[in-house]
Structure 1
Amino acid sequence: MAASLPNTALRERLLALTQLVGGIICLQFGSSMAKSLFPLFGAVGMVGLRTAFAAIVLVLFFRSWHVLSRRTIRLVLPYGIAIAGMNLCFYLALERIPLGMTVAIEFTGPLFLAFIGSRRLADIGWVALTVLGLALLLRPDTAALPDMLGVAYAIGAAICWALYIIFGKRMTGKLAPGHACALGLLCSAAILFLPCFTPAFVTGLHHPLLLGMAVLVAFCSSALPYALEMQAMHRLSARDLGVLYSLEPVCAACAGILLLHETLSPLRMVGILCIVVASAGTVLTPGKKGPPNELPELPQ
């Protein structure tokens, strides 16, 4: 009986690792699929479709109408605004620069937020490594710089991701995580409904197969990753979560190469790896304070 307990714990840990990695893969390949639909719906239209469909799925899954009230809406509205800004900036960046570069720049939002709250000397080195990674990402290949408007949108997504974490932390203990995400997406969908969702949905009615793909994007990019992440977070430590989350930019680069045929120079790939190493180093360096739930969620 005693021997079976470690085996059970190991199986649960492996299951959680599989769930989180599966969520990360789903998220980035869903983003690749979304970019392939830009010619029909546009980046703004895809944001509206993805947010609205994901909100419907999560509200139905968590039955969040039971906790819907004016007080709840006031609580989740800043969170929903941050989600809307993050997704809109992310897709506008994705329209102009490669997926791997977009995610790597966006990833600096929560990374710098972690640095701000730290007083460890080692973090100076991780900040320097992050800056080096950004410099390599933004360096010109031959004579061409990356699209700077796309870079600006990615930076906007990074800022909104940091705000998403701040506003999300304010809801801790006030609203169940499932309801918080579902209602946050619902508020985000309401903000984006007229300018983003409605025109894209009307267009999609004439292309039902592609509209169905947009529903699949919403499921792969928001609903399924969140559900898998929620399961994994109950079983993994803060260190495990931080290291696995740092795989996001690498997975995004691979998805962009495999599905979108995007290419990044070797130096830009090194830049992405610098950001990944800085993220993992921030988690693994001894002396980190704070409970496991201080790590950011990844809702994209």
Structure 2
Amino acid sequence: MRRSSAAWIAPLIGVVLVLASISSVQLGAAIGKSIFDEISPAGLTFVRLLLAAAVMLAVARPRPGGWARSTVLDVVAFGAVLGTMNLLYYASLERIPLSVAVTLELVGPLAVALLHSRRIADVAWVLCAAAGVAIIAAQGFEGSLDIVGCVLALLAGACWGGYILLSQRVGAKVPGLSGLSAAMLVGALVALPFGAPAAVAAVAASPAVLGPAALVALLSSVLAYGLELLALRRISAHAFGVFMALEPASAALFGFLLLSEHVGALDAIAIALVAIASAGVAITATRARAPRAVTGPVDLPDGMPPIP
């Protein structure tokens, strides 16, 4: 009886942890967008990455002196993509609703997943995602959505795709969280020239802004990543990938609750199409992987990772 109970309790806890991670990421993003009047998107990006890097470095204590040159280059590239992705993503949030930005950004990892697939059935998921993006793009060209914001979100998604590939390479070369923590510092350095002046000015004008900025770093980076690692020890990576398709819906919920962002009918259809495509790719993935403890950058099947 105890064994049968444990057999379903562990996955159930894993599901709760995944949902908590998704909520943590999107709550952090919503809080971040809510303070754009006090600190610019670039300034918030810099503060978030810097604070998150400080926590991660204290926990992981990387020793790059013992790394091979190729490993160092991979970590630097990983961090550069991470920093650029966050700059683009927060810049898009200033122009378009949170749920739309998350939906468009999800196209990046979805594209990587599909590029790694040779299944004919995945053509349907390509068409499904393309239809969702086309609906959003049409609204952008009609003027109901900011087209520049949409482009920024898509570029952030492209960076997310690069993040996936580099995360896998770094995770294979550097044990534990050392590679990610070092990459986080590189990301903060990438954001420094764009965000540091704005961050300093914002803090000088209102020191209290550091509170919500620190909360964004905690929710969207440190806490979310820890919850993801715990979840992946209890559920399969494929199941995790399916649940990650809930990101746009979570973004819509927190956008409504904290930012009063209403999702129109067309936006809801577009979000649903991209989410269905993401879940479909994860469900139909056939490449099995042996269960293992996850201690480094998350490596999900066919390139479906969490939001960093």
TM-score interval w.r.t. the shorter chain? over 0.9
SS at match of 1:188: helix
Normalising by structure 1, what TM-score? 0.92
Name the CA distance, whole Å, in 2 between partners of 1:141 and 1:62: 43
2:126 is matched with: 127
1:261 is matched with: 260
Name the CA distance, whole Å, in 2 between partners of 1:217 and 1:160: 20
2:27 is matched with: 29
1:173 is matched with: 172
Cα distance, 1:267 vs structure 2: 1.5
Give the aligned residue type for 1:43.
P
2:304 is matched with: 296
1:9 is matched with: 7
SS at match of 1:171: helix
Normalising by structure 2, what TM-score? 0.90
Contact 2:42 2:191 in 1 (8 A): no
Contact 2:238 2:300 in 1 (8 A): no
Name the CA distance, whole Å, in 2 between partners of 1:290 and 1:155: 30
Name the CA distance, whole Å, in 2 between partners of 1:144 and 1:190: 35
Cα distance, 1:297 vs structure 2: 2.8
2:137 is matched with: 138
SS at match of 2:12: helix
2:74 is matched with: 75
Farther-moved stretch of structure 1 (205-214 vs 222-231): 205-214
User: Cα gap change, 1:15/1:141 in structure 2, threshold over 3 Å: closer, same or farther?
Assistant: same
1:150-189, Cα deviation, whole Å (9 max, x unpaired) = 1110111010000001111112321124222211111111
1:273 aligns with 2:289: no
2:292 is matched with: none
Tell me the matched-pair count: 296
1:178-211, Cα deviation, whole Å (9 max, x unpaired) = 2222111111112222431353034214422211
1:45 is matched with: 43
Name the CA distance, whole Å, in 2 between partners of 1:53 and 1:214: 9
Farther-moved stretch of structure 1 (76-85 vs 131-140): 131-140
User: Cα gap change, 1:296/1:198 in structure 2, threshold over 3 Å: closer, same or farther?
Assistant: farther
SS at match of 1:60: helix
Cα distance, 1:293 vs structure 2: 3.6
Cα distance, 1:68 vs structure 2: 5.6
User: Cα gap change, 1:156/1:190 in structure 2, threshold over 3 Å: closer, same or farther?
Assistant: same
RMSD, aligned α-carbons: 2.0
Cα distance, 1:246 vs structure 2: 0.5
Cα distance, 1:141 vs structure 2: 8.6
Name the CA distance, whole Å, in 2 between partners of 1:243 and 1:83: 23
Contact 1:23 1:226 in 2 (8 A): yes
User: Cα gap change, 1:279/1:177 in structure 2, threshold over 3 Å: closer, same or farther?
Assistant: farther
Name the CA distance, whole Å, in 2 between partners of 1:69 and 1:199: 36
Structure 2 portions without partners, runs of 5+: 290-298
Query: Identity over aligned residues, as a percent?
Result: 31
2:152 is matched with: 153
Contact 2:241 2:300 in 1 (8 A): no
Name the CA distance, whole Å, in 1 between partners of 2:44 and 2:125: 35
SS at match of 1:140: helix
Contact 1:49 1:201 in 2 (8 A): no
Contact 2:75 2:182 in 1 (8 A): yes
1:121-149, Cα deviation, whole Å (9 max, x unpaired) = 11111111111111222333995341111
